[in-house]
Amino acid sequence: MPASAGQPKIVLAANDSWNIVNYRAGLIRSLQGAGYDVAVLAPDRGHADGIRALGAEFHPIEMRARGRSPTADLALLTTFHRKLRAIRPAAFLGFTAKPNIYGSIAAGWAAVPVINNISGLGAAFMRPGALRRIVETLYRIALRRSVTVFFQNREDRDLFIERGIVAGSQAALLPGSGVDLDHFSPVASERPRETTFLLAARLLWDKGVGEFVEAARQVRENQPNVRFQILGIVEPDSPAAVPLSALQKWADEGVIEFLGSSDDVRPVLSEATCVVLPSYYREGVPRILLEAAAMALPVITTDAPGCREAVDDGQTGFLCEPRSVDSLADAIERLMNLSSENQAAMGTAGRAKMEREFREDIVHRAYIDAIGKLGLATS
């Protein structure tokens, strides 16, 4: 859908163009359908054509998502301000940490209304210390004038309110980023004969990669034919990244199969028995859990903020204790001990939960309503 002269323009900003193409395409279409033009601010990294194919303007910017250079962050703040002054949008929608912080501050300077999405708090909020205090202060400054701040789980929302980072009147809940139930749908084929557990995530230690590998060792001692697979991107610039050498070592030992990365997880999901995410990262609501459940797969994840929201324990999957290899291995064995019929029933219940609680259109409607409160006129 091409841009239309005179239509209010909404800017979406994230730390990667991949994030926009894979997570916000449906929102862009919904905004366009509601009469808004859309522009995107994000690093390019190979997905500019995908953004333009959605009918959105693309304005590439330089950003290191996990960099901690004050000089680079000041440059980013200046870039956001300059871009917003040039685009003159009717609203700024921030996704991921740096756009939520520096983009929101710049939008305030440019008198642009802001709507934020706090999709998890990440490593900075996991431990007390100077870094957490700095990040809290930055969020407090950035969000003070936001019209709406969306959170993906109650714990994150309550923490921000209790710490005085946002006011209760600003805060609202979303069911994660939602899931496209047409794109992620059950595959009408038999599950593989070999039981296969899949971890698909950013390959960070805090995502529970090490616990998954050690649980695989335990289970395979008595069940050597069970397959454990890891799919994800290695992030060498992150101090919490699982090194490629470790993944190759585990694969060489036969403990896991490393599948590399993929822009489309559906073929791998369709061959899995169960998706496992033993994360203790302070997630929002992990997309992979929603995508797996939408494809009628049972899921195993931790009883931790963001993760627990995606699972009805014992009905659509199992919860385990964070950082506990034994608890994770027990949950895996409980799933294995179910009959194929009961595993299928668990997957069916997961699909129904996604249809009931996590449909993508629920998220889109919340954004349209929030923007509608700004009183923008569309034709």
- Please state the domain extents for the chain: 9-178+360-372, 196-357
pLDDT given at position 191: 56
Helix 340-357 crosses helix 287-294 at what angle (to 10 degrees)?
A: 120
Q: Tell me how far apart the alpha carbons of residues 98 and 67 are, in angstroms, rounded to a whole number.
A: 10
With 0-12 / 13-18 / 19 or more C-beta atoms within 10 angstroms meaning exposed / middle / buried, residue 249 is middle
Residues 351 and 186 sit within 8 Å (Cβ to Cβ): yes
**Two domains, one topology: 9-178+360-372 and 196-357:** yes
DSSP structure class, residue 379:
-
CATH (residue range 196-357)? 3.40.50.2000
Ranges under pLDDT 50 in the chain: 1-3
CATH class of the domain comprising 9-178+360-372: alpha beta
- Type of residue found at 179: V
Beta strands in 72-183 (DSSP E): 91-95, 114-118, 148-151, 171-173
Q: What is the DSSP letter of 31?
A: H
Pairing of strands 37-42, 9-13: parallel
pLDDT of residue 120: 82
Report residue 53 as tokens.
């194919």
Give the contacts of 322 (CB within 8 A, at least 6 positions apart).
208, 278, 279, 280, 302, 303, 304
Q: Judge whether 208 and 275 are in contact, CB under 8 Å.
A: no
Residue type, 190: E
Question: What pLDDT is recorded for position 375?
Answer: 84
Q: Cα–Cα distance between 156 and 161 in angstroms, integer?
A: 9
Q: What pTM was computed for the model?
A: 0.90
Q: Which amino acid is at 72?
A: A
